Structure 1
Amino acid sequence: MMQPPPPPPQPPSSGGYGNDLASAISNLAQSLSSTSSSTSSDSSSSSSDSSADSALTSDFQNLLTAMGASSSTSSSDTTSELQQFLTTLASNLQQQGSGAASGLFVSTTA
């Protein structure tokens, strides 16, 4: 006798991909906040996290500059602007639910 096929996976109870993405973005904003307010002293993981945060902040500054913003802002100002951007993005995704992520991505293949 053949076995019946397994049931389809259950959708996440958190509202789908939008909330997962919102949580990830919110966590990233919080990690920037904790990195900028803490002193880097002990572990290598905090060093690599700090390096990744610095790279993200630098890339964000490059994006702002490319869009015409002044490039004379300090690193702490850029980090603060990035935190605000990420916090707002996460909040918007959480408010709009699982369908919110559908318009965020653009296919670049022909």
Structure 2
Amino acid sequence: YVETQLRESLFHLSEDAIQKVVIAYEPIWAIGTGKTASAEQAQEMHAYLRSAIAGKYSEAVAANISILYGGSVKGNNAKEIFSKADVDGGLVGGASLNAEEFVQIIKALK
């Protein structure tokens, strides 16, 4: 399913254009639920996305494209998720409405 989404939405772009794209991944089962993937699950999917991009474009493009995790990033899970090699950051939703929670997420980037 994810590969189909990539192919239909992004893979028509030129190599120059795709390098300007930021991808945010959220598991379909996490949308609107407050549930989040484990850091290992997030890493696995982000690595898959990067591999698919490398297959279409190049290893260099795949290494440089930003892939964010967007499934209920919170202060208590951000550090572990952001520590994974293929996770470049987070797309923060509801947690951004709480200043203290948002500060914890930002601190996890250090």
TM-score (norm 2): 0.27
TM-score (norm 1): 0.27
> Which structure would you say has the larger Rg?
1
Higher relative contact order (CA 8 A, sep 6+): 1
Whichever structure has more helix as a proportion of its residues is 1
